[in-house]
Structure 1
């Protein structure tokens, strides 16, 4: 009798860090999130990858619009989760506002982020200049 053992290993990916300070940074952050999920082993399903790209896009957009005009995105993964951490120089926490259904001025992002993530935390920056980091965790 011939016995075969199959071993599937999960390689912890190296965290990905992206920095931006303009609207072009939103596209760069989306591309980094997509490349990050494509490089995971085992790869997450396409729905999870799309959700991560959307969450990253919203977090980065909010950092640029409301957080001081620049951001640092760090993507990391564990065996069961993927985390997007977005830092910006504004210490103020995001606030929910009523979405603008007619004028196109936004208000949807924070609602979406809260709904799509498994766990969401906001931590103040340890730097003397202030700021915060929003950690959005999604199930892998």
Structure 2
């Protein structure tokens, strides 16, 4: 099975975290053929692929926002892709599992993130991170668009990813890392880090 993982390290970054995560995810989805203008196949726009990509971006936004509001900010965003599904992981330093408010307060921001998770994700959950690092990882899984789940398409994506990895510059830049778990080359995606600011406020 062709698995690909991309990671965005976020510790120490408090400005524009949600936008940075969305941009990172959008580039990954384009590379993996989830968007109409990925440039991989020259096919006309596919509404199903576009809708699936927008759902993923919304999930990333809500998961990262929840980490900012309730866990002191995210540590890392991980995208794990196979031909059948995509797994989104957001880790933070708060070991407490997310819980939905019984009665959302209109005067407080947020409160809808878990509702979005339940509606858009095939399944989701939270896993504790062992000490000494501690914290937790909130994850969600969504199925790949039907067109991308075919064996022939998976093989074509694997070939394209391998070629892109060979052409990539092997730079980590301290922020983002993209790794192919297959036997092919390891690819990395450089991201220019912003100026460091104070840690995200805890709520």
- Fold in common (TM above 0.5): yes
In the superposition, the TM-score normalised over structure 1's length comes to 0.82
Cα separation, 2, equivalents of 1:69 and 1:53: 18
In the superposition, the TM-score normalised over structure 2's length comes to 0.58
Which stretches of structure 1, 4 residues or more, deviate above 6 A after TM superposition? none
Q: Match of 1:45, SS?
A: helix
Which residue in the other structure is 1:117 paired with?
121
Task: Give the number of equivalent residue pairs.
Answer: 129
Which residue in the other structure is 2:79 paired with?
75
**Greater RCO, 1 or 2 (C-alpha within 8 Å, sep 6+):** 2
Structure 1: give runs of 5+ residues left out of the alignment. 1-9
Alignment RMSD (CA, Å): 2.0
Cα separation, 2, equivalents of 1:116 and 1:105: 21
65 and 127 in structure 1: CA distance in 2 versus 1, 3 angstrom threshold: same
Indicate the structure with greater strand content: 1
Cα separation, 2, equivalents of 1:23 and 1:100: 26
Deviations 1:62-91 (A, max 9, x none): 111111223210011111101111100000
Q: 1:106 aligns with which of 86, 110, 114?
A: 110
107 and 23 in structure 1: CA distance in 2 versus 1, 3 angstrom threshold: farther
